[in-house]
Amino acid sequence: MSRISDPGPLRVGNCSGFYGDRLSAMREMLEGGELDVLTGDYLAELTMLILARDRASDPSAGYARTFLTQLRDCLRLALDRGVRIVSNAGGVNPEGLVAAVRELGLSPRIALVRGDDLTGRAAELGLGSPLGAHAYLGAFGIARALAAGADLVVTGRVTDASLAVGPAIAHFGWARTDLDALAGATVAGHVIECGTQATGGNYAFFTEVADPLHPGFPIAEIHRDGTSVITKHPGTGGAVTVGTVTAQLVYEVGDARYAGPDVTTRLDTVSLRQAGPDRVEIAGVRGEPPPPELKVSCTSIGGHRNELTVVLTGLDVEAKAALFRRQFEASLHTVPAELVWSLARLDTADAPTQQQASALLTAVARDPDPRVAGRAFSGAAVELALGSYPGFFATTPPGNAHPYGVFTAGSVPQAAPAHEVVLPDGSAEAIGPPPLTRPLAPLTGPGPAPAPGGSPVRRLPLGTLAGARSGDKGGDANVGVWVRDEAAYPWLSALLTEETVRELLPETRGLPLRITRLPGILAVNIVVEGLLGLGVAYQGRFDPQAKGLGEWLRSRLVPIPEALLEGAL
């Protein structure tokens, strides 16, 4: 009997949070301790665009080649140890990855989950004419593959959490109606999907992590009722604490209803508890029927982009910037469809180094015509080299324009994709849509708590008490903010109103905000719609994936009651 049919807890590890993650992680996880299943998440919105472009130029490409490299090293080890591997490394060409794995030999039992690719049907489904259109499939195809004895399951675009939920369905025999269990496993999958972000990586309070040099990858011990424990292999770096798990839990989410293809997970029901060293229990998660639509990732080439940054040193920075801008725009024979300027005042007065005396002026051009964003744009900059402001120089020489990508999120009915699993014996089985769905309704939790009073306050950085993690969802940015002391939560809840967020983050002015309070995990989640333009590949701002947005927010000064500061300074 295979280990995955064991009725005890299921140990699911993760060895990749993105395409390019630590190459040695698969071996580290297989050799580091006991596992039942090892997952690898290689896909993101930008990755889907990269892989779609790869396949457009080479029909045999379009999958994560680093995963294949890892399998060359570790497939024999995984088979010997009886560890199943589940990965979305198939990208936009999962069939191509399966063929490449077969060439490695060793005769693993391989299953393929397909049906996410809607590119050929995009127009009929109302998705336009994108370069790629891929539905986020659920976990039941993965579960069927494992139940049929697969050693390796290769998928295309499934939800990140499905990589862990599918093995749990197969292990415990959950049905579509086991919504609470599915929701609990979804939370566990969401926590481990980004690798070491759950074990102290990119953590707001990183100075408190005893061994931050080489964080171990996370493991979810999933139980029959959907509860789980997040941990890592003994002796590995990093840490697993309520804080590190909370940080990942609020990463790239919307409101309290976390929608997926198999279940809508109620994030406002999550309970976290430190259950031992490097062990955090997740319990109490409730699930609701999934929405009637599936999310679709649509990627396209939006045009061509070029960028120039010039350095302004010393005195009269604003006047120098204005002069260069007037000269540059006057020199353009054809003005690009988009020309965006930004001035970063990084300079300080009476600076001890030239770098500290310098500001950066950046011009970004976008245009459908590569000549307009390329040669014409660069030529205008070169011509000004000896005739502009004093101290003129650029960070890099002007170059050619490059294509830029655009991400848009679409939706299709649950039954639209031909969700199918090709089993190890070569037979194919259809995976039907969920029998019960429910339209998604916003759930932002309670309103702001009453502002605490009666204590003097000090103006200090928000991060004195609060952690944060931020990221991207298409053109939207999210910032999850939390505190670790229950006594501080009413203060945080009262502080982070729409008015205060706009004051602390001026770039959000004029953009829609959605603020969700999650008192169960002492967190407030903020979604800024449209902050990132048309997605990461569009590079609409200095930090195109909003990775540092949370740390900017933590650095802003806010009034903190002195009663909450004991032990924090």
CA-to-CA distance for 373 and 378, rounded, in angstroms? Answer: 8
Token couple for 167: 């093995």
CA-to-CA distance for 157 and 45, rounded, in angstroms? Answer: 10
Helix axes 140-147, 162-172, angle to 10 degrees: 50
Strands 110-114 and 152-155 come out as parallel
Total domains, the chain: 3
The reply to whether 306 and 284 lie within a common domain is no
Measured at the CA of 458, the angle between CA 456 and CA 463, to 5 degrees, comes to 130
Give the pLDDT confidence score for residue 317 in this predicted structure: 97
CA-to-CA distance for 386 and 529, rounded, in angstroms? Answer: 42
The reply to whether 468 and 494 lie within a common domain is yes
Give the pLDDT confidence score for residue 569 in this predicted structure: 67
Token couple for 301: 């080439």
**Domain carrying residue 370:** 298-406
Percent helix, strand and coil across the chain, each to the nearest 5: 30, 30, 40
Number of Cα atoms under 13 Å in the Cβ half of residue 236: 25
CA-to-CA distance for 191 and 239, rounded, in angstroms? Answer: 14
The reply to whether 315 and 287 lie within a common domain is no
Token couple for 137: 């499939």
Domain for residue 37, yes or no?
A: yes
The reply to whether 277 and 364 lie within a common domain is no
The beta strand positions in 194-277, using DSSP E, are 218-222, 228-232, 257-259, 264-266, 271-276
- Contact by Cβ (8 Å): 282, 245: yes
Measured at the CA of 184, the angle between CA 182 and CA 187, to 5 degrees, comes to 110
The reply to whether 70 and 86 lie within a common domain is yes
The reply to whether 287 and 302 lie within a common domain is no
Domain for residue 445, yes or no?
A: no
* End residue of a domain, out of 430, 465, 492: 430
Domain for residue 569, yes or no?
A: no
CA-to-CA distance for 25 and 166, rounded, in angstroms? Answer: 21
Domain for residue 105, yes or no?
A: yes
* End residue of a domain, out of 390, 406, 422: 406
The reply to whether 202 and 109 lie within a common domain is yes
Name residue, tokens 């896909």: 43
Domain for residue 246, yes or no?
A: yes
The enclosing domain of 401 has a CATH number of 3.30.70
Domain for residue 148, yes or no?
A: yes
Give the pLDDT confidence score for residue 3 in this predicted structure: 44
Over the chain (569 residues), the average pLDDT of each successive run of 10 is 61 97 98 98 91 90 97 98 98 97 95 97 96 97 98 98 98 98 98 98 95 96 98 97 98 96 98 98 98 96 94 97 97 93 96 96 95 91 93 90 91 98 97 97 91 86 98 93 96 97 95 97 97 85 92 97 84
Give the pLDDT confidence score for residue 534 in this predicted structure: 85
The reply to whether 390 and 260 lie within a common domain is no
- Contact by Cβ (8 Å): 472, 546: yes
- Contact by Cβ (8 Å): 470, 550: yes
The reply to whether 533 and 392 lie within a common domain is no
The reply to whether 234 and 286 lie within a common domain is yes
DSSP-derived 3-state class of residue 177: coil
The reply to whether 349 and 468 lie within a common domain is no
Domain for residue 438, yes or no?
A: no
Domain for residue 437, yes or no?
A: no
Residue 388: which of 339, 331, 444 has the closest Cα? 331
User: Side chain identity at 491, as an amino acid letter?
Assistant: W
The reply to whether 484 and 340 lie within a common domain is no
- Give Cα 16 to chain centroid, integer Å: 12
